Amino acid sequence: MAEKIGIDINETDTDITTLNKTSIKPGDMRTGFIAIVGRPNVGKSTLLNALLGEKVAIVSKKPQTTRNRITGILTLGCDQFVFLDTPGMHKPKTKLGNYMVKSVRAAIGDTDAAILVVEPGGKPGDIELGIIERLKNNNTPAILAINKTDRSTAAAIGQTITDYAPKYDFKSVVPISAKNNLGVDIVLNECRAFMKPGPWHFPEDELTDQPERQIAAEVIREKLLRLLNEEIPHGIAVVIEKFEESPSIIRIAAEIYCERESHKAIIIGKNGEMLKRIGSYAREDLENFFGCQIYLNLWVKVKTRWRDDISTLRNFGYNDKDEF
């Protein structure tokens, strides 16, 4: 079962940002690598997108949405902020989970600073305390961002500050609503303290270092997360088999892997309706991101227990310096 989609869209105007390059002297440049960390589903990816003003990380209400570190790049004046959106810290149950947790730990050790994202009302648990311990061991300065304040009370936010303050010498504590873009500008301004003199690592108009294939796979996976039942998304992987570009169209062939035949039937849906919805929503986002027509071909395959198979994980792109 596959869906093939191809529609025409109007040509977009030339991006005026390409005509407005800044002239920054190398001696004035500053760079800061900042990890965004926390437990699953606290809004780390939403915060990254809000900081950048563009969507580079997929967002879902389901936990453990982010599996790889995602780099978001924001260049303002002399400063280049390089944000690393990390998977949610959790107690792993599979080798994929081990990979995700180790990538978080590595990010804390590899960056200049961190933003610990928490929700109001909950005391620091084992996950937060573990992150804080790693921050201490690496002498990593950090901001505490208390997210989802639009769904909380002043009393709960104040109690959260009281509970976290003794645990670590946070450089600042910022209540935010990343979804509503409230307090995000304050977080960004606080991050300026972490900038260090030195050349930029990316062109000033670059938004992310994710390969185009990875972006396409993540967009498709986001639609799967949003449309499918709770138990299915964690067992899904998306692999881009073909990514062919021409001046007016990108042809993408993607394979969706799940762990059970029953899950395959749900993903496809009656008469292929669910797969059509997934493809339609994914194609729309991909066209907006790449700015051209997208021809999308989706296939669904079963690969049992792939999350515990190291060779499959590596074939699916989960390759990092850390071992599983």
Lowest mean pLDDT among 2-6, 52-56, 237-241, 251-255: 2-6
State the pLDDT at residue 103: 60
Lowest mean pLDDT among 88-92, 138-142, 176-180: 88-92
pTM over 0.85: no
**What are the C-alpha distances in Å from 57 to residues 53, 176, 196, 226?**
12, 19, 25, 14
State the pLDDT at residue 282: 94
- Segment 250-290, tens digit of pLDDT: 999 999 998 889 999 999 999 999 999 999 999 999 998 88
More confident position, 186 or 40: 186
State what percent of residues in the chain have pLDDT above 70.
77
Q: Does domain 4-10+209-315 have CATH number 1.20.1440.230?
A: no
The domain spans of the chain are 4-10+209-315, 22-197
Instruction: Kindly tell me the number of DSSP H helices and DSSP E strands found in the chain.
Output: 9, 11
Kind and range of the H or E element at 212?
helix 212-227
Q: Which residues contact 228 (CB under 8 A, 6 or more apart)?
A: 236, 266, 267, 274
Lowest mean pLDDT among 102-116, 170-184, 200-214: 102-116
The two domains 4-10+209-315 and 22-197 share their CATH topology (first three levels equal)? no
- Choices 1.20.1740.10, 3.40.50.300, 3.40.50.2000, 3.40.30.10: CATH for 22-197: 3.40.50.300
